[in-house]
């Protein structure tokens, strides 16, 4: 007999400290978006009930190649909590993650609520306070990253931590379409990309998220942080790595990955 939705949610929560778990194939079909978001929502509510503060959302699967790999035609999203933020130039400890990877992104912070169910990229632009260079540290509670679309959605979009750059840039005159991205590890180029790699434009990804959340009765609010999706391939992390992202027009951000103990895989 397979796990229930509730048990799958509990198993994912336990994996943060106890180590990775088997894929959720016994409870979720690979493309079961409704079931997967139900698991995610159970955990989001659980964590809020425990006092964690929701500060925004992350968007994933914005690259067509990754969508094809997982057999879907849409991005996904997860919750961002205040305790997931690492200060720019700060440290991530190996004991805090299981099998981490990093990717460079554009993050935006909203100046006002978004309630228009048909909002487009222009509407997002008008509602945005500023953009910053960002790094998302993704992680999976599913063993060996053997994930389907449903696995990653249920697992809060395979989220872990994020870093926001300290330079806040207004969108007026900012080119987020052709802006280049360089992700360095220990001073060497590890990943390259551009704004157009993120669903054609980072603001397209943000508009998709806003429409999706409005349809779910959870509209985005002023002050929310939106991680809009990877601009290039993610890279695996090893203890001792210093990771730095540079994005054209936005500047940079960085963090150190410290090996305080082995990751509890």
Q: Is the pLDDT of residue 125 over 60?
A: yes
Average pLDDT, integer, range 23-50 = 97
Q: What is the pLDDT of residue 122?
A: 97
Two structure tokens written together for 49? 């009930």
pTM metric for this prediction: 0.95
Average pLDDT, integer, range 48-52 = 98
Average pLDDT, integer, range 243-257 = 98
Burial-class residue 82 by CB neighbours within 10 Å (0-12, 13-18, 19+).
exposed
Please tell me the total number of residues recorded for the chain in this structure.
Answer: 265
First and final CA of the chain: distance in angstroms?
26
Q: What is the pLDDT of residue 67?
A: 81
Cα-trace Rg, the chain? 17
If you write DSSP's letter for every residue of 169-193 in order, what string do you get? B-STT---SS-EEEEEETTEEEEEE
Q: Which helix (DSSP H) or strand (DSSP E) does residue 255 occupy?
A: strand 251-258
Question: For residue range 201-226, what is the model confidence (pLDDT) as tens digits?
Answer: 999 999 999 999 999 999 999 999 99
Domain 5-258: what homologous superfamily? Answer: Fumarylacetoacetase-like, C-terminal domain (3.90.850.10)
């Amino acid at each position: 007999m397979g796990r229930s939705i509730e048990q799958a949610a509990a198993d994912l929560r336990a994996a943060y400290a106890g180590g990775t778990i088997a894929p959720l194939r016994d409870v979720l079909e690979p493309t079961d978006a409704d079931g997967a978001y139900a698991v995610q929502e159970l955990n989001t509510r659980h964590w809020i009930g425990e006092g964690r503060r929701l500060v925004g959302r992350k968007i994933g699967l914005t690259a067509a190649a990754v969508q094809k790999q997982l057999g879907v035609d849409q991005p996904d999203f997860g919750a961002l909590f205040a305790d997931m933020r690492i200060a720019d130039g700060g440290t991530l400890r190996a004991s805090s993650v299981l099998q981490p990877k990093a990717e460079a992104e554009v993050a935006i912070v909203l100046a006002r609520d978004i309630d228009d169910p048909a909002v487009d990229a222009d509407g997002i632009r008008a509602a945005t306070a500023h953009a910053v260079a960002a790094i998302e540290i993704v992680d999976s509670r599913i063993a060996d990253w053997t994930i389907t679309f449903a696995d990653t959605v249920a697992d809060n979009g395979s989220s872990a931590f994020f870093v926001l750059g300290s330079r806040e840039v207004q969108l007026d005159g900012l080119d987020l379409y052709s802006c280049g991205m360089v992700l360095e590890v220990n001073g060497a180029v590890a990943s390259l990309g551009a704004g157009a790699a993120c669903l054609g434009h980072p603001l397209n990804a943000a508009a998709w998220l806003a429409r999706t959340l409005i349809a779910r009765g959870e509209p985005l609010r002023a002050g929310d942080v939106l991680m809009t999706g990877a601009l290039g391939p993610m890279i695996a992390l090893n203890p001792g790595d210093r990771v730095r992202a540079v994005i054209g027009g936005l500047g940079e951000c960085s963090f150190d990955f410290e090996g305080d103990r082995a990751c509890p895989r």
